[in-house]
A and B are shown apart, each in its own frame.
Chain A
């Protein structure tokens, strides 16, 4: 029991003394996952809304495939990106493997199906009614996509945050393409799994606490927004 308590005490000390390394790790985590989520959202929200309200051949099959990709294991995405970015891979000459950029790419690819799928399903269920009103008031295609984004903004935000939570808490993809290199590509989750195997519980606990706090803050923000109405 003692060493657990000891671990917590040490963890709080690390956080309150603003340990440089710890805070570097936290900020890299936030940076990588935020960038990936924002890029994926900018791409997927308009496309997902468009596909959701559009009638096309094979829509059912498309839905099923998309929903399958939503839960793709992060190690598979990591592996794919690592192969593509490795020296002999198609994008090898950019020398991106084991850099934060590679981690952003991997996490972007990881959350793209998630945001696309959630947006698509939202728009499929609720977009048609909004589209009809938009059309009858004289809106063109672009007006209607903007209108639907504005109308569904709260749900869309919840979706984006869900994607961010998945990104910041995954370990497989960033571990494979980032390599957990000290001061360079080490993020919260890769550090936790490493520290645990090294028996450094205080650091692992400290970072675990930070991860919890991050998701708590995010969820509070969502709740305060959705309580707006």
Chain B
């Protein structure tokens, strides 16, 4: 999915926290968004995810405004993930279940993603009792399982140990290669953005720099 942002302004009362004239994120790429704390990275992601509607300007998805279909084709993994009060397995199968995917296919897809993320031993744990890092892994798995055309990641590896970071980066790249989906990833880790991203957007005080 291609994202085009035009004349985007987001105010909190009188405070302009995001001000972007023109920005295109090309289909099939991994785009990094970096910038200091409070520069508007999460705000931008929430707007693109269709959760924050209090902005001025336009955001287009494949040249169209947002609609029900768009919501079904994209997802965001939050900086602080929220997992459902049920087993890890049941969290991951949720997006497939509400799409009415066939039971056998759900089983295959969920097992496969659990294996790829190397979280077999967490499968039957209650998700809301996982550690911060484990939650981030599970919430990324839950996002990838239904193959969204646009994947928004807000600091997906901020609490993660180096070994798990490797796994998550590997899966992010693999997902991009396999599906051709667009990925926008907010990170504070310059190394990571160099490793993963085709393009990098630098935000400072709500504006795109270079």
Contact = CB atoms under 8 A, between A and B. Distances in A.
Interface of A is mostly: helix
B84 A150 contact: yes
A6 interface: no
Nearest to A153: B85
Contact of B126 (A132, A150, A229): A229
Contacts of A129: 82
A143 interface: yes
A129 B139 CA distance: 14
B71 A135 contact: yes
B85 A138 contact: no
Interface in B91-108: 94-95, 98-99
Nearest to A55: B53
Instruction: Tell me if B's interface is mostly helix, strand, loop or mixed.
Output: mixed
Contacts of A132: 51, 82
Contacts of A135: 50-51, 71
Interface string A94-133: 0000000000000000000000000000000000011011
B82 A137 contact: no
A46 interface: no
A150 B49 CA distance: 24
A93 B85 CA distance: 49
Contacts of B89: none
B129 A137 contact: no
Contact of A136 (B51, B68, B128): B51
Interface string B70-98: 01101110100010111000000011001
Contacts of A153: 85
B123 interface: no
Interface of A: 129-130, 132-133, 135-140, 143, 147, 150-151, 153, 229
21 contacts: A129-B82, A130-B82, A133-B84, A135-B50, A135-B71, A136-B49, A136-B51, A136-B71, A136-B75, A136-B76, A137-B75, A137-B94, A137-B143, A137-B146, A138-B75, A138-B146, A139-B98, A143-B98, A150-B86, A151-B84, A151-B85
Given A132-B51, A135-B50, A138-B146, 13 more contacts: A129-B82, A135-B51, A136-B49, A136-B71, A137-B94, A138-B72, A138-B98, A139-B98, A143-B98, A147-B84, A150-B84, A229-B128, A229-B129
